Structure 1
Amino acid sequence: MRVLVILLVLAALFWAVTLWRAARHEARAEAAFPPTGQFLEIDGTRVHAVVSGSGPDVVLIHGSSGSTRDMTFRLAPALADRFRVIALDRPGLGYTDRIGQGGASIAQQADLLRRAAQELGAERPIVLGHSYGGAVALAWAVNHPDALSALVPVASPSHPWDTPLDPLYRVTSSAPGSAVVIPMLTAYVPDSYVESTLASVFDPQDVPEGYAAHFGPGLSLRRTAMRANARQRANLLAEIEALHGRYGDIAVPTEIVHGTADTTVGLSIHSQPLLAAVPGAVLTRLEGIGHMAHQVEPDAVAAAVDRAAARAGLR
C-alpha cells in the first residue's frame, strides 16, 4: 500500500511539472511570436486577421499546424502592392479561438472566416487556401457561392484518399491522447524539433532562410493548437468525402496551383480530379516543386491570383 501511495505521489508531481512546463512553453512562444494583426469578434469567437496592401480583396487561408505567419512570410508581400490581403488564422490555430471541442469542420471554418472577411468589408474576395486551408476554401466556394469572386486552391486536398491517418494524429485526436499525450508534447518537445520537421514539408526544396524564425514553431506546439489541429486532420477525410461531389456547383473563376513533386498532397489524387470537376478551372503545374509552393514559388502563386482577378473582372 505504501508503495502505491508513493507511486501516486510521484505521478502527481510529474504531472504537475508537466503542466507547468507546458504553460511556460506556451507563454514563451506567445511572447516571442505575438499577434501581428487585429481581432474581430464573430458571435463570441475571436478571429485574428492580418491586413496589408490595397486593391481588390484576397483572403489567404493557411494549412495544418500553421497561422497567418505562414502566409505573411512571402505570399502576402508578393500581393500587397496590388491587392488588399487579408490573412486569417483558422479556428484553434494562431490567435483565433477554437470552435467547440471537435476541431471545427471545414464548413464551420469557412463560415467563420467568411463572416470575418465581411466584417472587414470584403464581401466577395478572391479566396486562396494552401493545403488544409485549400479544403476550407473549397468549402467556402461550395457553401457560400455568392461570397467570393474567385478561388485559388494551392496544393489542396480535394478528393478522397486511401492512406491511413498519421499515427500521431490517431493518438492526439483521441480523448486519452488529447488529455495526456498533448500536454506532454507541449511540455517536453523543443521548438527545434518542429524546425527540423520543416525540411520534410518543404522537400525537395530547402526551407527558405528566415522562414522558421518568422513562422514561430512554438505556436504550433501549444495545447489548444495541437488539439484543434489533431481533430481537424482526423475529420478531414470524411468531410472531403461529403464535399467533393458538389464541386460542379462552383461557378467562380478557379485557378488551381500544385507542385508536381508534392508528396504530401498528391497532384494526381487531388488537383487533377479537381480540374475535371470544377467548370472552367485552370491548373498550373509547377514542375519539380513540392508542397510549399507559396513559399518557394510565391511569384507563380501570386500570378495565379492575378489571373483569377482578371477572370473575375477585378483587373
Structure 2
Amino acid sequence: MLSVELVFVVMVGMLLLVIGNVAFSLVAERRNPPIGSFIDCEGVRLHYLERGDKTAPPVVLFHGNGSLMQDLIISGLVDMLARRNRVLCFDRPGFGYSQRPRPRVWTATSQAALFVNALHQLGVRDPVVLGHSWGALVATAIGLQDSYPVRGLVLVSGYYFPTARWDFWMMSGPAVPVLGDIMRYTVAPVVSWAILPALLRKIFAPCSVPGKFKDNFPAALTCRPKQLRAAAEESALLIPEATRLQSHYSSIRCPIHIFHGAEDHLIEPEQARRLYRVLRRSNLHLVNDAGHMATYADGDAIVEAVDSLRVEQPIIISSPHEDARADQVIE
C-alpha cells in the first residue's frame, strides 16, 4: 500500500509541475511578447527584427545557445550597427519565438540553409554575417555555402574544434526523446531557473553581469520547456558539429574577424587561436578582461570590424602564422 501511495504522490507532484511549467511559459510569453516580425520559410516560422535603412549594406546577426535576439539588442550591437547598415537579427530555431520542428536535425548546416532561404525571401544579398557562440557555427556554415556569397564573417566567442567537454553532454538531457520530454516539463525548468544566476556570472566573468542585462533580458523565456529542448539539442550537437565542420574551414573565401574574450570561462580562447591559424583571410581580436560575452565587452571594436567589411574590397592582412600578424591581434 505504501508503494502505491508513493507512486500516487509522485504522479500528482509531476502533474503539478507540468501544469506549473505550462502556466509559467504562458505568463512569460504574455510579459515578453514578440518584438519583431515573422517570416515562414521551409515550413518554419522565424522571428526576426529589422533595423536601419533597407538600402544600406546588410548585416545579419545570430545569438548563441540558450539565448535569443534580445541578447544582441541589449548589448547595443543592433543599434550601433543600424546607424550605417540594414540589420537583421534572428531568433534561431527553437529560441525566442522561432519554431524548431522536431523531425529535422538542426545542425549548423541545416540552420544555415534555412536562413539563406529566409534571407533570399527578404531580399538580403551579400551580407556581413555575425554570430555569437553557437551562432558563430551557423555563421561559419553560411560562409561555407557556395550558392550564397557573403561579404564577410564576424565570429564571436565561438567553438570550432572538438575537445573533451563533459559539461556539454550533461546539459543535453532534455533533448533525449521521452525521458527528456518528461524532464523539460517537470524538473528541468525549475533547475534551469535556479542555476541561471550562477550561469550568467560564469559567462560574463571576469566582468559582472551588466545592469542593463539584468533589467531587460527576458530570462523567463529561456526556461520554457520548448526552449530547453532547443538548448539541450545544441549542447548535444556542438562537439559533433565542430568535428564535422573543422576540415572545411580553410575553404571559406570571404574575410573574417574572430573575436574572443581572453578570459572566457566557457569556451577556451585557444579555439579562436586555432581557427585564426587555419583561416588565411582572418584577423584575431583577443579582448582583454573579457569573458564569453565579448559582445558586451568590446562592442565598438565589433562594429568597427563589421564596418570594415562594408567597403567594396576589404583588405585583410594574411599569414598562416599568428606571430606574423601580431599587429592584428587585440590583447
What TM-score do the two structures reach when normalised by structure 1?
Answer: 0.92
CA RMSD of aligned residues (A): 2.1
Shift of 1:147: 3.4
**Cα deviations by residue, 1:72-112 (Å, 9 ceiling, x for unpaired):** 11110111100111000111111110132566111111111
1:36-89 deviation line (CA, Å, top 9, x unaligned): 000000021000001111221000000010001111111101111001110001
Match for residue 222 of structure 1 among 221, 224, 230: 224
Write the deviation string for residues 160-196 of structure 1: whole angstroms up to 9, x where unpaired.
2122234641433333541222222455358575244
Which secondary structure does the structure 2 equivalent of 1:153 belong to? strand
State the distance in 2 between where 1:102 and 1:168 align: 22
Tell me what 2:97 maps to. Answer: 95
Helix, strand or coil at the partner of 1:8: helix
Shift of 1:308: 2.2
* SS of match in other structure, 2:230: helix
Secondary structure, counterpart of 1:310 in structure 2: coil
SS class of match (1:210): helix
Instruction: Give the counterpart letter for 1:209 in structure 2.
Output: G
Q: What is the correspondence of 1:82-161 to structure 2 with a 5 Å cutoff?
A: 82-101=84-103, 104-144=106-146, 146-161=148-163
Aligned mates of 1:12, 1:136 — CA distance in 2: 40
Aligned equivalents of 2:136 and 2:286: distance in 1? 16
Give 1:31 deviation, angstroms.
1.3
Structure 2 residue 6 is the aligned partner of structure 1 residue 7: yes
Q: Deviations over 1:111-132 (max 9, x none)?
A: 1122222222112211000011
Q: Distance in 2 between matches of 1:192 and 1:31?
A: 22
Which secondary structure state, in structure 1, belongs to the residue aligned with residue 12 of structure 2?
helix
Cα distance in 1, alignment partners of residues 139 and 101 from structure 2: 18
Measured at CA, do residues 247 and 162 of structure 1 come closer, stay the same or move farther in structure 2, by a change above 3 Å? Answer: same
After alignment, is 79-88 or 291-300 more displaced? Answer: 291-300
> In the alignment, is the contact (CA less than 8 A) between 2:46 and 2:90 conserved in 1?
yes
Q: Normalising by the residue count of structure 2, what TM-score does the alignment of the two structures yield?
A: 0.88
One-letter identity of the residue aligned with 2:122: L
For structure 2, list consecutive stretches of 5 or more residues without a partner in the other structure: 316-331
Which stretch shifts more, 100-109 or 201-210?
Answer: 100-109
* Aligned counterparts of 2:84 and 2:137: Cα–Cα separation in 1: 26
Percent of aligned positions that are identical: 28
Match of 1:294 in 2: 295
Moved more, 144-153 or 29-38: 144-153
CA distance in 2, matches of 1:130, 1:52: 19
Contact 2:255 2:314 in 1 (8 A): no
Q: Contact between 1:252 and 1:312, CA under 8 Å: does it hold in 2? A: no
Residue of structure 2 in register with 1:61 after alignment: 62
CA–CA distance in structure 2, aligned partners of residues 167 and 142 of structure 1? 27
**Counterpart residue number, 1:243:** 245
Whether 1:210 aligns to 2:212 is yes
